[in-house]
Amino acid sequence: MSKTYVAVDIGASSGRLMLSQIKDGKIDLQEVHRFNNGFKKADGHDCWQIDQILKEIFTGLKKVKQLGFNEIVLGIDTWAVDYVLVGMDGQKIQNPISYRDARTKDALEKLTTDVPKSLIYKKTGIQFLNFNTLYQLYTENKDELKKTDKIMMIPDYIGYVLTGNAVTEVTNASTTQMLNLREGLFDKDLLKKVHVDQNQFPRLVESGTILGNIRHAWHVKYDIPETEVITVATHDTASAVLGTPGIGDHWAFLSSGTWSLLGTELNVPEIGDLAFESNYTNEWGAYGTYRFLKNIMGLWMIQNVKHNLNDQYSFAQLAELAGQAKPFEQFIDVNDESFINPENMIEAIQTYCQKTSQVVPQTPGEIAMAIYSNLALYYANELENLNNILGYKLEALNIVGGGSNVKLLNQLTSTLADIPIFAGPSEATAIGNLVVQMITENEINNIADAREIIRNSYQINEFHPETNKYGDILKDYQDFLRGKIKVSEG
Ligand SMILES: Nc1ncnc2c1ncn2[C@@H]1O[C@H](COP(=O)(O)OP(=O)(O)OP(=O)(O)O)[C@@H](O)[C@H]1O
Ligand SMILES: C[C@H](O)[C@H](O)[C@@H](O)C(=O)CO
Ligand SMILES: [Mg+2]
């Protein structure tokens, strides 16, 4: 009889507790609790509501107990780069600040005037995003840092609150852009640059480390199951990759949610000049792998449009309305910084199109199609980049996460990139979280076997290129990105 496993998977837009057992050679999956996530302004910063997240986790665990499960194994994964400062009293000093907060706007530029980008990349192999932990700590209040006993990444902090044990799990630690690839430790020079002592991070551990049991005090306060916590691949994207079915030779993945993380799994990091110049990253994966990928703005854009429209449309309705609009009416560099955290995404998209003298999308369908068709173009362009950097052609694209539900986006991407697409499971992150628990508990042998079980457990939808459908639109987009099509700056 399989043990009972719970994945706590918290993305930037939503969190969920997923319950699972292995039954007849399949990983069954039951959503027990889902909640919205997001940041709110506090003391002038965009802050995550970490205490509310913990309350939601306890609510979910109570529901697990009410379903009759008195003994479980649990793993936690969340978004990357953000952290909690924990004081000498073991309590958080402040609410964690979101990576989308404006505080790091100029940090990357300032830090890299002293420390060359080429040196940082050679040390870490991590992409330059101005919200990486390195730049957040560079701007951090120095008095707060002096009062800090431990800097805990978000999922590690949650595990610490639940069990009292503090670790730093490597897949998420790599997103700090402070882990030295060769040494496998926090880089001393980069720590010094941001005035952090290496003892201020808890010890580094690999995915699959047993963290401990939920503290008795929580059982007294909440009616929850006896719970052993395992430190899984705590960066949600690392778990998403593990939960990817891995269909095709030289397969690529697209973890499609708030962000679109497009890449492939490597056994050695790729930090050559082409990778550096294309700003690709080598985030650490589980079991000694590397996630060679690029961050693409993703469905964050649609999430904001949905809110701008007062949530009168579901995501499925927006996708349906998009299908009634024409694709490629305008070219948009979806990674333009104006889309990182605008007051109003619809206005940001319309302003971008006005400034570049292009057709301005007006209706919800036109706006949604502008987003989807330009995401598809961006994906296709980056897949060409990936093939060029790697020196071989990626044969299939596995799309997982909520975005795998968007048939329109999947089909556009397949045609533009001329690649077969295998879409699903949408809850790959939770599934990847679960398989590390099951491997640690010796119920699954290894990740290759886990992916075979995943392929047999979930519906995977296929999409194939529609030949000659859009002519040279990708080349025109690439010229636009490279600035060759000089759309006049309005
Ligand atoms: N049925 C659907 N139709 C269209 N879009 C959908 C559908 N279901 C999910 N989505 C898209 O998936 C997105 C959420 O994806 P997902 O649940 O993977 O993100 P998350 O886990 O909440 O956040 P993160 O990406 O930070 O992990 C939604 O913003 C929406 O755009
Ligand atoms: C900021 C990170 O790059 C981002 O969170 C991404 O890695 C992620 O975790 C998507 O959920
Ligand atoms: Mg997610």
* ipTM score: 0.97
What's the CA gap between 262 and 217, in Å, rounded?
Answer: 42
What's the CA gap between 152 and 162, in Å, rounded?
Answer: 14
What's the CA gap between 231 and 281, in Å, rounded?
Answer: 23
Q: pLDDT tens for residues 71-101?
A: 999 999 999 999 999 999 999 999 999 999 9
- Numbered residues of the known binding site for ATP: 12-16, 258, 303, 402
For ligand 2, atom 1, the nearest C-alpha belongs to 80
Distance of CA 256 from the midpoint of ligand 1 (Å): 7
Q: Of the candidates 191, 215, 236, which is a domain's last residue? A: 236
Are 64 and 138 contained in the same domain?
Answer: yes
Are 401 and 278 contained in the same domain?
Answer: yes
For ligand 2, atom 9, the nearest C-alpha belongs to 79
User: Does residue 223 have an active-site annotation?
Assistant: no
Q: Which domain holds residue 324?
A: 246-424+460-490
Are 279 and 199 contained in the same domain?
Answer: no
Please check whether residue 442 lies inside any domain of the structure: no
Q: pLDDT tens for residues 433-443?
A: 999 999 999 99
The predicted model gives 335-364 an average pLDDT of 97
Are 258 and 230 contained in the same domain?
Answer: no
Are 11 and 157 contained in the same domain?
Answer: yes
Please check whether residue 319 lies inside any domain of the structure: yes
What does residue 342 show for φ and ψ, rounded to 5 degrees?
Answer: -75, 160
Residue 468: predicted pLDDT: 80
Are 187 and 278 contained in the same domain?
Answer: no
Distance of CA 222 from the midpoint of ligand 3 (Å): 26
- Whether 467 has a pLDDT exceeding 70, the answer reads yes
Distance of CA 460 from the midpoint of ligand 1 (Å): 17
Are 74 and 130 contained in the same domain?
Answer: yes
How many domains does the chain divide into?
A: 2
Please check whether residue 448 lies inside any domain of the structure: no
CB count within 10 Å of CB 381 equals 19
Are 230 and 280 contained in the same domain?
Answer: no
Taking a C-beta distance cutoff of 8 angstroms, is the pair 110, 134 a contact?
A: no
Residue 355: predicted pLDDT: 95
If pLDDT is split at 50, 70 and 90, which confidence band does 485 have?
low
Ligand nearest to the CA of 126: 2
CA 263-269-274 angle, 5° bins = 70
Q: pLDDT tens for residues 113-144?
A: 999 999 999 999 999 999 999 999 999 999 99
Please check whether residue 250 lies inside any domain of the structure: yes
- Numbered residues of the known binding site: 12-16, 80, 235-237, 258, 295, 303, 402
Please check whether residue 443 lies inside any domain of the structure: no
Are 206 and 250 contained in the same domain?
Answer: no
In Å, how far from its chain's centre is CA 17?
17
Ligand nearest to the CA of 129: 2
If pLDDT is split at 50, 70 and 90, which confidence band does 486 have?
low
Are 47 and 146 contained in the same domain?
Answer: yes
Residue 332: predicted pLDDT: 98
What's the CA gap between 282 and 175, in Å, rounded?
Answer: 9
Please check whether residue 33 lies inside any domain of the structure: yes
What does residue 10 show for φ and ψ, rounded to 5 degrees?
Answer: -120, 110
- Whether 362 has a pLDDT exceeding 90, the answer reads yes
Q: What's the CATH code of the domain at 79? A: 3.30.420.40
Q: Of the candidates 203, 236, 269, which is a domain's last residue? A: 236
Q: pLDDT tens for residues 242-256?
A: 999 999 999 999 999
Are 154 and 217 contained in the same domain?
Answer: yes
Please check whether residue 413 lies inside any domain of the structure: yes
Please check whether residue 108 lies inside any domain of the structure: yes
List strand residue ranges (DSSP E) for 22-117, in order: 22-23, 26-27, 30-36, 39-42, 45-48, 71-78, 83-87
Are 331 and 231 contained in the same domain?
Answer: no
CA terminus-to-terminus distance, the chain: 65
Q: Of the candidates 190, 215, 236, which is a domain's last residue? A: 236
The predicted model gives 389-417 an average pLDDT of 98
